[in-house]
Structure 1
Amino acid sequence: MTLAYWIAASLLALFYFYAGTLKVIRSRDQLRPMMAWVDRVPLPALRALGTVEILGATGLILPPSTGIAPSPAPAAAIGFVLLQTGAIAVHLTGEDRQITLNVGLIATAAVTVWLATGL
């Protein structure tokens, strides 16, 4: 089960670290082609969301790899489930309504929560 956790957590961490970094460093104009919803969110909230994604990605990988405090890993995965639940709400209230990626991320994060409880 440990190998399965590392695969799922690594995929989530890579995705969220990349997406979070983009939200932190890029302008709205640069993000708009990838994220149609950026105009409906204040810029400080967008930057904060990116920061949360980066911290969550770190929480999936760093604590279990050091063995010092593995409990943040399931918390980070639960946070990603909640984050994507909110993302689905944002997509459904907007014009894009494309939630396939969000549903996949929720499923992966939920499996990661389950796997992280066995660490």
Structure 2
Amino acid sequence: MNVILWITAGLLAVFFLASGTMKLAQSRQKLVASGMGALEGFGDGAVKGIGALEVLAAVGLILPAALDVAPVLVPLAAVGVALLMAGAMIAHLRRREIPAVAMTLLFLALSVLVAWGRFGPESFTG
């Protein structure tokens, strides 16, 4: 189970590092034009804030445990990802973007798995 949690956290971290970096580096208009239509309803600052949260989540899913410095931050980062994905699902549902809702639901489920596993049976504290 520990290996599955590491792999899942790693995959989530890669995705959110890429997604967050893209949101931080590109303008909202360019992101919307490239297919991220759900960002249309957000301001530029909100998009940059979401990008920053995604980058922080990516770091929080891996580094605390890898460096053995405050590993309790891993499940907390996973909870943060779950909250971000809940918000993303709402944004996609409002726009009736069903494929995006399905992908967001997958990331939500994976983050809940990591949070559950790291708070529970494969906790770093025990």
Q: Structure 2 length normalisation: TM-score?
A: 0.88
Give the structure 1 partner of residue 118 of structure 2: 116
Greater relative contact order (CA < 8 Å, ≥ 6 in sequence):
1
- What SS is found at the alignment partner of 2:35? coil
- Which range moves more in the overlay, 51-60 or 107-116? 107-116
Amino acid at match of 1:94: R
Superposition map of 1:17-28 within 5 A: 17-28=17-28
CA-atom RMSD in angstroms: 1.2
Amino acid at match of 2:76: A
Q: Give 1:115 deviation, angstroms.
A: 2.0
- Which range moves more in the overlay, 78-87 or 28-37? 28-37
How many positions carry a matched residue from both structures? 119
Give % identity.
33
- What SS is found at the alignment partner of 1:22? helix
Give the structure 2 partner of residue 14 of structure 1: 14
Conserved 8 A contact 1:81-1:110:
yes
* Cα offsets for 1:4-36 (capped at 9, x unmatched): 111000000000000000000012232122311
* Cα offsets for 1:60-113 (capped at 9, x unmatched): 100000112101100000011111111111111125343011010011101111
Q: Structure 1 length normalisation: TM-score?
A: 0.93
